[in-house]
Amino acid sequence: MNIFSGLEKIVEKKFSLGQSTWFGLGGPADYMISPQNAEQLSDVIKRCNENNIDIHVLGFGSNLLVSDEGVKGAVIKLTGDEFTRVEFAGTTLTTGAGTDLGKLVLDCVRKGLGGLEVLAGIPGSVGGAARMNAGGIFGDFGSTIESVTLMDNQGNVFVKAKPELSFDYRSANITAKYILGAKIELYEADPTQLLKTIKEVWIYKKNTQPLNTRNAGCIFKNPRGMSAGAMIDRAGLKGTKIGGAIVSEKHANFITAEDGCTSGDVISLIDKIKETVKEKFDVELELELQIW
């Protein structure tokens, strides 16, 4: 019996996950599934539950490291029109979880809507950005989000809104596995000024981050009141290399992958960084990077 009978168009077996992450590393998933709407997603979830198939949800893979062995079970990616829609109504924006955050930022700037310009240069999907409250020194995504549409493990859709919905540093109190979309509140602003802000953000990133390399953004969260990158730098780890994985000389909280790098190399380097920082500063670094 075919578990996904009737859904063959959206199911791909033994899908190489490396091509779907910014690191470009990792083994295959048993199934890659791309539901086109909430009804299909609910159907897929129920079939996986009935057959004891584990599910992972993939955004744009910009904050993800997949193990060399790959992923057992199903990986779901929300690519359908329902999950990538963008609707503006005055200063209110409603968008699907699969929407490209970078493109959305530019759309808002062109329309003279402020609030998201501080996220310029942060890659990822709206769903992934909401779950981890993506952001940086200029601001975060959660400050603009009014509500999120979610689906539970039984395939039921519901909405979680502020004040019940809250965001913290690189986290949100979203426990549901599936984010379907978000409602965002923006404000009217001068497009020229917004564009100026975007340029300032990009100049900062260009000067401080290893752009145009294979990386997954910051590896560790900043401990309260401290900088993970500064500690890694002070520990003398910039340029440290294991296999094809290297601690960036430009920003110590980035690991870049050279040709021949494996996920195992990155994990070994992460372990070395954590051990060294613990030894020197008695601080346990917490991962910002997701590892499957």
Span 71-121, pLDDT tens digits: 999 999 999 999 999 999 999 999 999 999 999 999 999 999 999 999 999
Q: What is the mean pLDDT of residues 3-8?
A: 93
Same domain flag for 160 and 91: yes
Residue 35 lies in a domain: yes
Query: Is residue 292 a contact partner of residue 27, using CB atoms and an 8 Å limit?
Result: no
Residue 128 lies in a domain: yes
Q: CA neighbours within 13 Å on the CB side: how many for 238?
A: 12
Q: Taking Cα atoms as reference points, which of 57, 80, 61, 55 lies closest to residue 20?
A: 61
Rounded to a whole number of angstroms, the CA Rg of the chain reads 20
Look up the pTM and report it.
Answer: 0.90
Span 126-181, pLDDT tens digits: 999 999 999 988 999 999 999 999 999 999 999 999 999 999 999 999 999 999 99
Query: Is residue 292 a contact partner of residue 21, using CB atoms and an 8 Å limit?
Result: no
Q: What is the model's pLDDT at position 2? A: 87
Structurally, how many domains does the chain consist of? 3
Same domain flag for 54 and 120: no
Same domain flag for 91 and 68: no
Span 215-240, pLDDT tens digits: 999 999 999 999 999 999 999 999 99
Residue 3 lies in a domain: no
The rounded distance, in Å, linking the Cα atoms of 225 and 23 is 29
CA 245-251-255 angle, 5° bins: 20
Identify the residue whose tokens are 């920003």.
251
pLDDT of 272 strictly over 90? yes
What's 185's domain CATH number? 3.30.465.10
- Domain range holding 259? 212-291
Q: CA neighbours within 13 Å on the CB side: how many for 272?
A: 20
Q: What is the model's pLDDT at position 209? A: 92
Query: Is residue 248 a contact partner of residue 211, using CB atoms and an 8 Å limit?
Result: no
Could you tell me the pLDDT band of residue 1, with boundaries at 50, 70 and 90?
low
Span 243-252, pLDDT tens digits: 999 999 999 9
Same domain flag for 88 and 66: no
Residue 234 lies in a domain: yes
Q: Taking Cα atoms as reference points, which of 195, 174, 23 lies closest to residue 117?
A: 195
What's 36's domain CATH number? 3.30.43.10
Same domain flag for 91 and 187: yes
Alpha-carbon distance values, 134 to 19, 66, 268 (Å): 22, 20, 26
